Structure 1
Amino acid sequence: MASLHKNAWFFPFILGITLLAAGYYVINFHNIIELASSQSHYENYLNKGLGNSDCNCTAPKRTQKVPKILHYVYLNEDPASLPFNFTHWLAFTSAIETIKPEKTYFHCIHEPKSYWYQLIKPKVSIMKTRIVTKIFGNPVNIIQHKSDIIRMEVLRDFGGIYLDLDVIVLQPFDDLLYYDFTMGIEKTNQSTLCNAAIVSRPFAPFLTRWMLGYKDFDDSDWSRHSIRLPYNMSKVYSNDIHVLNATAFFWPTWMDEHLDLAYASNNYNFSNQYIYHMWSTKSYYKYLQYLSPKSIKSEETSFNRVVRKFLNYLPKDFNEKNFDFDG
């Protein structure tokens, strides 16, 4: 009996500790659940190597930085110049139907009048732009350089995806929207960053620096500020830009043998790239002026094969007999 009396305190003590622990858990249950579900706790959990690879946990999502909007710049200072033609319709249709943007902005001085533009017009928002004459006091006369400046300004102010009028979009851009700024390498006799496709958040640091580089702009130098300057900057400010390899955006290139590969052969596979730049300045008179819905349907080339699906977006009453390239 003496031994039993001596240990009588033990059972009430254990019961008290158990009740105290249970009470603490109930009181703090909400905080424990909140901590366990927080992103920081989840990340620490994985970093410590305690995560179960078989669990159905959903990893924290990355933050989208670039709005899913498209920008096109169409600088026809003379309303009669630069017709909006079939290849423009093809480029716009490929981008709108592949990227599926929330908005497509058409930055222009004068709206085109062609049939092909009328097909696209309901899908775009018209943004009247200005005629560029100077940048940082330096004269700007070449139309392509004027377009370079407008595209940088709209990306700075709005963010989004800028595309040249002769860019065919082959894959969605969704995974590129998580970077501050993205450009692709154009590799010919030297490496540059081509500005025919640019993905940027508003006021991206790389874009701001690039624009400031125009303080010594020289209109007589064709490519210095538009493609060579961003390439050189990418080596210095590599943390501010996502650079895609040469085949992602601008392959095949504008060189004659590459144009032949795209437009005259059936040997190139476009399946592993985001876009194809049609290089209209170089390819128009040899290839693009002869393109039509009929030729795309009937002639087996690498280019025709990959753009054929976009002809499904032609109006049901489209009459091939009345086809006019320039509308």
Structure 2
Amino acid sequence: MVFSLSLYCFSPGLFRWGDYVRQTNPFSGQDRVEQDFTPTSRELACLYGLPPRPGQPPLLSSSHTSSSSESELTAANSIPNVAHFIFLQKLPLDHAGQGDFNFLSYLSVRSAIVSLKPTKVLLHYGYVGDEAHRSSEGDGADPLIRNNEWIERLRHDVEFVRHDGPLNSSLQHSEHLADKLRLEILLEHGGIYLDIDAFALRPFTHVLESPHPHDVVMGNEGGNRAGLCNAVMAARPNSTFVKRWLETYETADLNAEWNYHSVLLPKQLAGQHPDEICELPPDSFFWPTWTWRHVEWMHEPLDQADTRRWQKRIQRTGGSLFDNQLAYHAWSQMARDRYLRRLTPEVVRNEDTRFNLLVRRFIAEDL
């Protein structure tokens, strides 16, 4: 570990080459994640409208309703079109007092506002670190909301929900801090949850109409469908599936794992309780994947011909790279240092990559 950190600090190019070899060698397992796939009929039914169970009233999409009462029935039974994000800020604030909510975080929230047209967007936030307890003792201190320029731009479109409850500061991976919280939020409120590095590209119309008891909708991760990723998901309030999932955290040692509770376990639960969840094909939320080659493919420069071709594709699909794609997870854990860190409004507007073409429209005109 010490050797790896020293190599990164003093020779980042050599470190990155080593990371490339580690991820792309034939024994890395990334070929299995990248393998081709064909969406199943059940996955497509979840994506474009699943027929109701026998004896249940039909859950019709608005495009097929013939009366206002049918439309009202659909709305009443649908998963709420409410977008939830979670952001946990370490104290004291760095980046000149701005904190870590950055341009990409802003774009992620903007994507939900523009693409989903939700009834509301909730940014759930809290503070972690040695000074966090002081911020939650009633002194009114709220440095992230008060100081951050990107949050200021979202202020009129977003409701801010502060969480002062105990957060497990012993967790080695900060990503795990929000794993349980997102399930608690969906259990209570329902709606659409997106990680702060996930981008909604098109409306979730049919996904939200998944008929009861299929009260949770998740996307398969990877062409091998080894897991269901929790970075983007939708659920009705009081979902039985979410309750089952939450209960497993009571005895979990998250420091001893990376993605078991967030990706692998929900896949296992889906196999045991298939009537409680709708599984989407890999290209709905999580394609391209997190692998070295897929991340590179999203951020490689495009020539003029490729740029025009992908622009036409995005226009034809209504905002995405693929016909089934509703969202894109940017895999910041794998892409931050290589690509995401350098992105600014100017870079996204002026440099043509597949990623930039996807998210360019979410930048406000005055930026």
Query: Structure 1-normalised TM-score?
Result: 0.73
Deviation, 1:142, is: 3.8
SS in 1 for 2:93: coil
Shift of 1:310: 1.9
1:124 to 158, 161, 165: 158
Contact 2:198 2:330 in 1 (8 A): yes
Q: Which residue of 1 aligns with 2:101?
A: 84
Distance 1:99 1:210 in 2: 26
Aligned-pair distance for 1:265? 4.6
* Alignment partner of 1:223 is 2:259: yes
Q: Please list the CA deviations of residues 170-216 of structure 1 after superposition, one character each: whole Å capped at 9, or x if unmatched.
A: 11012111221101011167611110011000011111111112232
Identity of aligned residues (%): 31
Query: Within the alignment, does 1:288 sit opposite 2:288 as a pair?
Result: no
State which of 186, 193, 209 in structure 2 corresponds to 1:155.
186
Instruction: Report the Cα distance in structure 2 between the residues aligned to 1:231 and 1:149, rounded to whole angstroms.
Output: 17
The alpha-carbon distance between structure 1 residues 206 and 302, as it changes in their structure 2 partners (threshold 3 A), is same
Aligned to 1:145: 176
Relative distance call for 1:184 and 1:209 in structure 2 (3 A) is: same
* Aligned pairs, number: 259
The 1-side partners of 2:187 and 2:330 are apart by 26
Inter-partner Cα distance in structure 1 for 2:223 and 2:322: 21
SS in 2 for 1:157: helix
Q: Could you say if the C-alpha distance between residues 304 and 213 of structure 1 is closer, same or farther in structure 2, counting changes exceeding 3 Å?
A: same
Distance in 1, matches of 2:242 and 2:344, equals 37
Q: Output the CA distance in 1 between the equivalents of 2:344 and 2:115.
A: 21
5 Å matches for 1:243-258?
243-258=279-294
Task: Return the letter of the residue paired with 2:179.
Answer: D
What is the aligned partner in structure 1 of residue 358 from structure 2?
A: 306
| Residue identity opposite 1:167 in structure 2 | A
What is the CA–CA distance in structure 2 between the aligned matches of 1:244 and 1:225, rounded to whole Å? 19
Pairing of 1:1-327 with structure 2 (within 5 A): 60=70, 62=74, 64-80=77-93, 83-109=100-126, 110=142, 111-112=144-145, 113-133=147-167, 142-179=173-210, 180-187=215-222, 191-220=226-255, 221-266=257-302, 270-272=321-323, 273-311=325-363, 313-315=364-366, 318=367
**Cα distance change of structure 1 residues 140 and 306 upon mapping to structure 2, 3 Å threshold:** closer
Q: How much has 1:140 moved relative to structure 2?
A: 5.1
Instruction: Say whether the 8 Å CA contact 2:180–2:249 is kept in structure 1.
Output: no
Query: Structure 2 CA distance, aligned partners of 1:305 and 1:127?
Result: 31
Q: CA deviation at 1:282?
A: 1.2
1:241, CA displacement in angstroms?
0.3
| Structure 2: distance between partners of 1:282 and 1:314 | 29
**Is 2:83–2:121's contact at 8 Å kept on the other side of the alignment?**
yes
4+ aligned runs moved over 2 Å, structure 1: 56-65, 110-114, 130-134, 139-143, 265-269
Q: Contact (CA 8 Å) 2:223, 2:282: kept in 1 or not?
A: no
Displacement, 1:89?
1.2
Larger mean Cα displacement after TM superposition, 89-98 or 260-269: 260-269
Gaps of 5+ in 2: 1-54, 56-64, 127-141, 314-320
Q: Is the partner of 2:233 in helix, strand or coil?
A: strand
Q: Is the 8 A contact 1:166 1:280 kept in 2?
A: yes
| Cα distance between partner residues in 2 of 1:207 and 1:232 | 13
Structure 1 position 274, deviation (Å):
0.5
Shift of 1:141: 5.7
For residues 79 and 188 of structure 1, do their structure 2 counterparts lie closer, same or farther at Cα, with a shift above 3 Å needed? farther
- Matched AA of 2:160: I
Gaps of 5+ in 1: 1-42, 44-55, 319-327
TM-score by length of 2: 0.65
SS across alignment from 1:212: helix
Contact 2:301 2:351 in 1 (8 A): no
* Greater RCO (Cα-Cα under 8 Å, separation 6 or more): 2
Instruction: Report the Cα distance in structure 1 between the residues aligned to 2:230 and 2:336, rounded to whole angstroms.
Output: 20
Bigger Rg over Cα: 1
Q: Which moved more, 1:219-228 or 1:252-261?
A: 219-228
Structure 2 CA distance for aligned equivalents of residues 202 and 132 of structure 1: 23
